[in-house]
Amino acid sequence: MTAERELPAREEARAFFDRPGEVVAGGFAAGWVRHTDRKEVFEGQASILALATPSRTRLFRVDHVIYYDDEYTKNRYPNSRGPELASLDPGEAIGYAFHQSVLTFIKVGGAGSAANIQLSHLTEIDRNGEPLRERDSEITSAKVAQLLDFGHEMRAQLTTFNFRGTRAFLLSVGGRQLTEEEIRAIEEEILNFE
């Protein structure tokens, strides 16, 4: 196991996402785009995102996110998403219905900001960090919501955990913060899952 954290896991996640959106996107996903110009893809550093599904915790590499800035979000959704996202803490996630699915968005930036990133493309990995070979190991934002049983305007928490010596993130539905013991149990579950 690792040494004691400098910050509790939820506070560490909040600090990571409480930065400018371009910085967060580049430090969270292997590639990212601005919503306003999806032709220019920026390179970043892929994070590991664990999804606490009803059956087990599954691991994914964050391949791609879409960044929506504060001004766009507030102007496009002045009476709904804009104020809702601005009210969230950095690192909180929320689902929004889009056609027949629900997409997953994570609040970035400081208090009052409606800037956010949409999970766009993830690849499932094994406990060694290698991509799974199954046909359906690559998923989109809509599939994230299905796996989590995540509905429109439902909220989820991002928490950090240790994955093979690297900071990773756990996305879990509901407002309850996980205890350090629960996080350690998840770390053990991931490393021991066959």
Note down pLDDT in tens along the chain; length 194 residues: 344 445 688 889 999 999 999 999 999 999 999 999 888 999 999 999 999 887 888 999 999 999 999 999 999 999 999 999 999 999 999 999 999 999 999 999 999 999 999 999 999 998 888 898 877 789 998 899 998 888 999 999 899 988 888 899 999 886 556 677 877 787 887 777 65
Alpha-carbon distances, residue 161 vs 80, 82, 108, 171, 179 (angstroms): 32, 30, 19, 11, 11
Candidates 1.10.10, 3.30.450, 3.10.450, 3.10.300; correct CATH number of 9-192? 3.10.300
Q: What is the pLDDT of residue 88?
A: 95
Instruction: Tell me the domain boundaries of the chain.
Output: 9-192
Q: What is the pLDDT of residue 174?
A: 65
Q: How far apart are CA 65 and CA 106, in angstroms?
A: 10
Structure-token pair, residue 17: 């996402």
Instruction: Sort strands 101-107 and 92-98 into parallel, antiparallel or unpaired.
Output: antiparallel
At residue 137's C-alpha, the angle toward residues 154 and 37, to 5°, is 65
Q: How far apart are CA 138 and CA 59, in angstroms?
A: 11
pTM (two decimals): 0.89
